[in-house]
Amino acid sequence: MSKAYRGVLKARISKLYGGDVTVEKARRLKSRSDATPRDKQLANWFINMQTNRPPTKKKKADPKVGTGKKPKGSDRRLYTDENPKDTVSIKFATVADARKTIAKVMNINKPYARKIQILTVLEQRAEVMGKMQQASLARAAKKKLKAANKKSSPAKQVKGGGTKKVCLPKDKIASMSKSERAKVTRAKSKAAKGGEYKRSSKSFVKGARKKGATLRDWFEKEDWRQVGNPSKKCGED
Residue among 1, 103, 94 at smallest CA distance from 42: 1
Q: Under a CB-based contact definition with an 8 Å cutoff, are residues 134 and 98 in contact?
A: yes
Residue 19 makes CB contacts below 8 A (sequence gap 6+) with: 13, 25
Q: Look at residue 159 and tell me whether its pLDDT is greater than 50.
A: no
Q: How high is the pLDDT of residue 199?
A: 64
Full-model pTM: 0.37
Q: How high is the pLDDT of residue 141?
A: 94
Q: How high is the pLDDT of residue 234?
A: 75
Residue type, 111: P
Question: Distance between CA atoms of 227 and 236, rounded to whole angstroms?
Answer: 12
Domain residue ranges of the chain, discontinuous segments joined by +? 3-51, 88-152, 161-226
Q: How high is the pLDDT of residue 139?
A: 94
Q: Under a CB-based contact definition with an 8 Å cutoff, are residues 179 and 215 in contact?
A: no
Mean pLDDT computed over 191-197: 66
pLDDT tens-digit profile of 94-152?
A: 999 999 999 999 998 888 888 998 999 899 999 989 999 999 999 999 999 988 888 76
Q: Which residues of 141-151 are buried (b: 16+ CB within 10 A; e: fewer)?
A: bbeebeeeeee
